[in-house]
Structure 1
């Protein structure tokens, strides 16, 4: 069975199938350029070599080729006009393709280079800057299911049927199917929703990374608690002063967590996308 090729554009309000908007347009292929690492090393006079700094990644290009086959030059003109209207916007958006249907790329408006083959046939090369420096899973983990075929795993681990992202026990595992560590300090999305009752506070410990988040204070079972990236919220109000300002990261693969404290009525949920280099 032949794979159906597609190119889709995801905005804040809708998902657009580009071929349906422009009859005669064909998705040919997509090529992702390699990651560009920044070492952020520091040279100090009088000392050999460099002091290594944290490694970050620059944006990279996603190059997409499209073909158009119309009846005459008027069709070609209309196709080019439609491409301009679709891809040149005042808002950022995501791109997904049939080459990697479970990944999405956060992109800026592209550079478009048309190559006219004849009066009715054109090949377009669209170069998008993926400004985040990584691609993401199409869905977040609160929509996770192994059986729906909508997830890609790129860290060499075979997932099992016990993977889940909501737990009621204080010792549990969170599976990160990314090819990189989820780290809020790099603006990676990670929300940890917590419900529990305590008079003294609690600690969340990721045994794989050594990260510890501690909250000191009372929390009732009917109150909400959210760690959104690096910021904690109690009943939607910032409460960083009642914490150790700890950051929770997720290494690729399985992360074992333990929650300490005199707590009851415990429930925790991790919501994030997988990220890919």
Structure 2
């Protein structure tokens, strides 16, 4: 029977380590804390209580209780060394739980740990922290949405819809299945705009009537190199075009976003982003 507490470590370069199959580790528990609320407030002069200014979410904590069995003392020491080498990376890496293989957490170890040895077996507790309060989808909006790709599952905000993230129409909807607004100032979002023809000067616009965000561009377009709104920058290949825009950004609220495109020269617009979950 598959143990759903098991998890994988995925480095940013794509290297994957499975706690069960690579280290013979049994993950006895895998616990994700709730978001940590940061309530912003101002105190009252000569008054009781405070004025609530808003709320933000702090980092998330994840803990795992693990045990393993080695062949002998030499094998025990080698296995512990291997775990140290993989887990104690200087860089962050992703954790993917077998219970929710379609979500991943960007984490790092937050405290030291050691294994309690009993014969050739060991037990240890791992504490991780995610700087973001959100898990993110393993797949992106441009991934295949069929069930056979194992990128999507129950609880991911997806239903029996025909989700489209590449459009040739001038008005369409973009669905954000997550709990958080995708804001390119703090979450990756790439919008690619292809042209029908080569033209030296044109004015185009993207408008999200759901969020009231507007992005405009005035300049040249060609059929070979698309214009890309990549995060907070607008580029064509390696050339920055940000100074030819209104410095606007398009954000995507949770749920459906209504997008309008102005400019007859626009042939296709695609949205590439992940979904973020509390």
- Whether TM-score is above 0.5 comes out as yes
Partner of 1:3: 2
- Indicate the RMSD between aligned Cα atoms, in angstroms: 2.7
Separation in 2 of the partners of 1:140 and 1:74?
A: 43
2:190 maps to what in 1? 191
1:143 to 2:143 alignment:
yes
* 1:225-244 map, 5 Å: 225-244=227-246
Three-state SS of the structure 2 residue aligned to 1:99 is coil
Matched, 1:104 2:104: yes
Q: Whole-Å Cα distance in 2 between the matches of residues 45 and 78 of structure 1?
A: 62
Number of positions where the alignment pairs a residue of Structure 1 with one of Structure 2? 271
SS in 2 for 1:100: coil
Quick one: distance in 1 between partners of 2:79 and 2:127?
A: 18
- Flag the 1:157–1:108 CA change in 2: closer, same or farther, 3 A: closer
Instruction: Note the residue ranges of structure 2 that are not aligned, 5 or more in a row.
Output: none
Is the CA contact 1:102–1:151 (under 8 Å) kept in the aligned structure 2?
yes
Contact kept? 1:154, 1:276, Cα under 8 Å? no
How far the C-alpha of 1:264 sits from its partner, in A, is: 2.7
1:178, CA displacement in angstroms? 0.8
Q: Which runs of 5+ in 1 are unaligned?
A: none
Q: Distance in 1 between matches of 2:119 and 2:107?
A: 31
**CA distance, structure 1, for counterparts of residue 62 and residue 143 of structure 2:** 26
TM superposition shift of 1:69? 2.5
Deviation at 1:112, TM superposition (A): 4.9
Shift of residue 251 of structure 1? 1.2
Which residue in 2 is equivalent to 1:207?
209
TM-score of the two chains, using structure 1 as the length reference: 0.85
Matches of 2:60 and 2:144, distance apart in 1: 28
Would the alpha carbon gap of residues 159 and 247 (structure 1) be closer, same or farther in structure 2, given more than 3 Å must change? farther
